[in-house]
Structure 1
Amino acid sequence: MSKISVSTGKKTGELAMGKISKIKILGFPLYMLLPMAIIVGVIAAQGILLDNIIGALLFAIIFGGIVGWIGDNIPIWKDWCGGGMLFTSLAAGALYTFKLVPESVITTVSNFNGKMGFLDFYIVVLLTGSVLVVDRKLLIRAFAGFIPTILGGVVVSFGLAALVGTIVGVGPVEAILNTALPIIGGGNGAGVIPMSKIWGGITGKDPAIWYAPAFATIVIGNLMAVVGGALLDRLGKKYPNITGEGQLIRGHNQEAVSKGNEEIKVGMTEYASGLALALFMFVLAGFYADKFSIINHLGLGFTIHKYAFMVIFCGLLNVSNIVPAEIRAGSKGVQQFFVKHMSLPLMVTVGITLNLADFATVFSFQKIAISLAVVIGSIIGTIVVGRWFKFYPVEAAITAGLCMANGGGSGDVQVLGASHRMELMPFAQISSRIGGAIILVIASILFGLFAS
């Protein structure tokens, strides 16, 4: 019996070693990646990580690749809680919250995301690649029905927030003003910050009084939205008839980069063209938003973000049909590279300043209940209205619903990453930017009526 046991144990060990030897992360076998990770970790721990794009991207790629792989292989979590995407963002937040790396590393990685524009870079590549490959007629149909679908989610979110707020003793007005508005408002920079200024201007009080709890509220709302995206993805796998697997409208192939049956040959030149076009469209949209936009210069108390103008300009470029098919295919190729290989590093840069302690400030029963009602309402409302425009329920709920209820631009990346639908970024940006601007108008009306 002992011989059999030893033999079985030896074979089991050999099988386990065989499986481990086959593991590849970022394309590296473990015997290469682990020494690289240890060296980067030692350098980071000593606070001598290069304070530039090279140091930041290296840290984000190595940390994100390993932690993302772990998150994608944790039972239950990988299927129901966002997998490697959310796990990477939270793990990066843990580095900041528990001071596991020097402040210099946090600053370097955070600056790479913000001042150096990595988040912008990622989003503009996805926007251009996604919009240019959508069939022109389908694009017009989608955008025409998208704003009403967003508004459907907003109405139901506010309604459920008022109902649950009444039930838990907070009251319908406070539930809408202090929970629903922050969560649905388009994130921090384009949502809660200008909203707090509107509140301060109307009440005559310091905007920080409203801003501090509102910011904590969008943190928990964003987490719920990300988990909701993962759950909707899982639901779509169980019931395939309710999802287009990344396509918004029923009965249509969203991508159309080829002319007829002609095959398009895409090489390095086309990828370079696609990348250059994406960068140009972003610069053009920013220039227009700052210098020429009539809406942004009317003094309405809100402005339309350059991402929204970029989606519009890319849509016009698509409809005009002046971009050669091979360049559109190149744009799509660059987008696919970023989705596949830059998403986890982006999660590191997004999460590196996430203070997990912020969750504690909103962990009251009332706040959790109302926040959950807002997120669920965004799902229900967009599914109901989206059906009128033949939108798939899962895709409508994710883009027009959860991408209104998340943390803005970075939240869009997290939600779409957790739901494995990065190709829907243009619609997510319409929610966060144009939808967010609509919420600022609604907030100014509601604050004027009820804030004191």
Structure 2
Amino acid sequence: MEAKKTLNNQNLFQKFIALHIGIIPMPLYLILTLGYILLTMENQMPDDMLGALGIMTLFSFILEEVGKHIPVLKSLGGKVLVVTFLPSYLVYQNWLPKGTVRVVTNFMTRNNFLAFFIALLIVGSISAMNRKTLIKASTRIIVVLLICELVGPILGIAVGTLLGLSAWKTYFYVVAPIMAGGVGEGALPLSLGYAAIISMTQPKIFAMILPCVMLGSLVAVILAGILKKIGDVHPEWTGNGRLVESDEAESGLDNLTQKSNGADIEKMLVSGVLAVALYLLGVWVNSVIHLPAPIVLLIVVMAAKMLGWIPASLQAGGSSLYSLTVKGITPPLLFGVGVAMTPWKSLITVFTNVPMLITIVVTVTGIVVAAFFSAKFLGMYPVDTAIAVSCCSGQGGTGALAILAAGDRMVLMPFAQVAVRLGGAITVTLSIFLMRLFA
């Protein structure tokens, strides 16, 4: 009897050791946890890249596992919601150690790690994408985006007005911030433009519109999870990362991934160097003509791919780079976004204003529905197109990251950047023009 009990205990221990937390084997995860606990207790957590990545890795993969197993929520992008928004709440409640928050925040704000992630993802996904598919998708998604840029404001103003908000307040302080392209390149220039026209200070305007940006992004994340579920139920509506059907035998990224199972490290590193080099070029271009570096990177890589200038070795390396970025970097980065870039206080501010809350939900939902049906009309995969275009109502780059992760469509980051940057630029320019015209 004792021998049988000992054997059962050994089997349980072996099963426990064989578990994985995300991609991390349990023994390694326990070592990482021990190191974190010891350093936190002694207040000796290093305020550098290794310290931050250790913390982000430790928390993100366990939170992702939690999100995967919550009933109902797991079908609505639960793992992304938990990894991104639970840390925001923990920071708000001061339930995370101050040293942990400080190290992660310093890393996210000082090093622009999000830009590094987006650069790798753009180069990896585009270089490995089918060329003809890219050409067809790029032209059509702009048409879909323009339709959504029209539908979103009309629907938002109509609903806001019905709920007792003025058309002026609904558009300029609710709808426009949602569709402005995030915080740094959306809400901030929008508030500066408003302040130059009306008798209100920029900080006050910014404080008014920031909650709308945050909640709009949250709604888009949930809708991306719903769209993923719709794609699972109706596979004919999704290209699983493609916006249009490929004309060629290869299906782009998926095919290249299969070809490069034994990932060529040298090719992958060359693709990474290409991403860094083009990003630096984009920073220089931005200093000259004020075009954001990620957009410069996006334009150059898309042009090179469309013209057939990207060699096969870089395409294979790009496929491996994409896989590495999605599997290894996405969860830690989402946790960092939640800690450092998602103020919980801004989110809960909107929940107390029911008319504004309903207007935000309806506006973002209207954008997604418009994208879905216009994509079907244009011969595109509606699920993937709607997920990509919904990023125009997200929190900029951080919102696009969370939205695509919730929809399990990280390969769509290039098109998400088009939605965020182009859609945001249109909204900011038009909103400031209209305010100057009618103020």
TM over 0.5: yes
- Shift, 1:47, TM fit: 3.3
- 1:20-419 to structure 2, matched below 5 A, reads 20-44=16-40, 46-80=42-76, 82-252=77-247, 254-255=251-252, 266-291=263-288, 293=289, 296=290, 304-353=291-340, 354-363=342-351, 364-400=353-389, 402-419=390-407
Task: Give the Cα separation in 2 of the matches to 1:225 and 1:10.
Answer: 51
Larger CA deviation: 123-132 vs 87-96: 87-96
C-alpha distance after superposition, 1:224-275 (max 9, x if no partner): 111111111011111111111111113556516989x998975121111111
- Shift, 1:42, TM fit: 4.1
CA contact (8 A) 2:283 2:293 kept: yes
Task: Give the Cα separation in 1 of the matches to 2:139 and 2:298.
Answer: 14
CA contact (8 A) 1:45 1:102 kept: no
CA contact (8 A) 1:147 1:435 kept: no
- Shift, 1:131, TM fit: 1.2
CA contact (8 A) 1:250 1:391 kept: yes
1:300 corresponds to: none
Gaps of at least 5 residues in structure 2 are none
- Shift, 1:336, TM fit: 0.7
Q: How many residues align?
A: 431
Whichever residue aligns with residue 175 of structure 2, its letter is: A
Where 2:435 maps in the other structure, the secondary structure is helix
- Shift, 1:83, TM fit: 2.5
Larger CA deviation: 370-379 vs 167-176: 167-176
Where 1:398 maps in the other structure, the secondary structure is helix
Task: Give the Cα separation in 1 of the matches to 2:88 and 2:75.
Answer: 21
Q: Percent identity?
A: 26
Change in CA separation of 1:266 and 1:324 when aligned onto 2, cut-off 3 Å: farther
Larger CA deviation: 140-149 vs 39-48: 39-48
- Shift, 1:193, TM fit: 0.2
- Shift, 1:146, TM fit: 1.8
CA contact (8 A) 1:264 1:326 kept: no
Where 2:245 maps in the other structure, the secondary structure is coil
C-alpha distance after superposition, 1:349-398 (max 9, x if no partner): 11112332322211121011100111111112212332343221111111
Change in CA separation of 1:202 and 1:45 when aligned onto 2, cut-off 3 Å: farther
- Shift, 1:10, TM fit: 12
Task: Give the Cα separation in 2 of the matches to 1:404 and 1:180.
Answer: 12
Whichever residue aligns with residue 392 of structure 1, its letter is: Y
Whichever residue aligns with residue 287 of structure 1, its letter is: W
- Shift, 1:22, TM fit: 3.7
Task: Give the Cα separation in 2 of the matches to 1:263 and 1:341.
Answer: 17
Task: Give the Cα separation in 2 of the matches to 1:427 and 1:41.
Answer: 41
Normalised TM-score (structure 1):
0.88
- Shift, 1:319, TM fit: 2.3
CA contact (8 A) 2:130 2:252 kept: yes
Normalised TM-score (structure 2):
0.91
Task: Give the Cα separation in 2 of the matches to 1:448 and 1:113.
Answer: 36
C-alpha distance after superposition, 1:393-422 (max 9, x if no partner): 11111111x101110000000000011000
C-alpha distance after superposition, 1:8-57 (max 9, x if no partner): x9999999777545421254443542353143034235432111101001
Whichever residue aligns with residue 422 of structure 2, its letter is: I
- Shift, 1:149, TM fit: 1.0
2:413 corresponds to: 425
C-alpha distance after superposition, 1:400-450 (max 9, x if no partner): 1x1011100000000000110000000001111122111111111221234
CA contact (8 A) 1:236 1:242 kept: yes
Whichever residue aligns with residue 184 of structure 2, its letter is: G
